[in-house]
Amino acid sequence: MTSVPIAEVRDTPLSLDEVYDAVRDPAAGAVVLFTGVVRDHDGGRDVTALTYSAHPIAGDELRRVAETIGREEDVRALAATHRVGELSVGDLAVVVAASAAHRDAAFTAARRLIDELKAEVPLWKHQVFASGEPEWVHPT
């Protein structure tokens, strides 16, 4: 049985150490950690402001996605956090991790977790460009 100790949407800064520590396991020879970071541009345009928002069920959906992947992949543990609210360039927007006995399984599960999080969890990104033009984006 795969452990999913963390699957949360938060309005506070994210921690790499927290997510990494959550998936550590003595039987795991590999831990894959992915971070999504706010960048200063999108589509060739400078981004000056960025806010993430979430539907109230987003945390439950994130847990559902992680638990489904945990049942389908050969991993020891999965964890994910996604931030909402106003973020600055360089802030962590999302952190996911997977641990497994071997690296291939950890990479596969971590990739699925970020891809399915983006596709299935109801999160939206509102960004404002240097021109003043706003844009709403889903998936995140």
Q: Which amino acid is at 99?
A: S
**pLDDT of the residue at 138:** 80
pLDDT, tens digit, 9 for 90 and up, residues 43-94: 999 999 999 999 999 999 999 999 999 999 999 999 999 999 999 999 999 9
CA distance 78 to 7: 8
pLDDT, tens digit, 9 for 90 and up, residues 12-34: 999 999 999 999 999 999 999 99
Q: Which domain, by its residues, includes 43?
A: 3-137
- CATH code, domain carrying 33: 3.90.1170.40
Q: Is the peptide bond before 139 cis (omega within 30 degrees of 0)?
A: yes
**pTM of the prediction?**
0.95
**How many structural domains comprise the chain?**
1
CA distance 92 to 74: 27
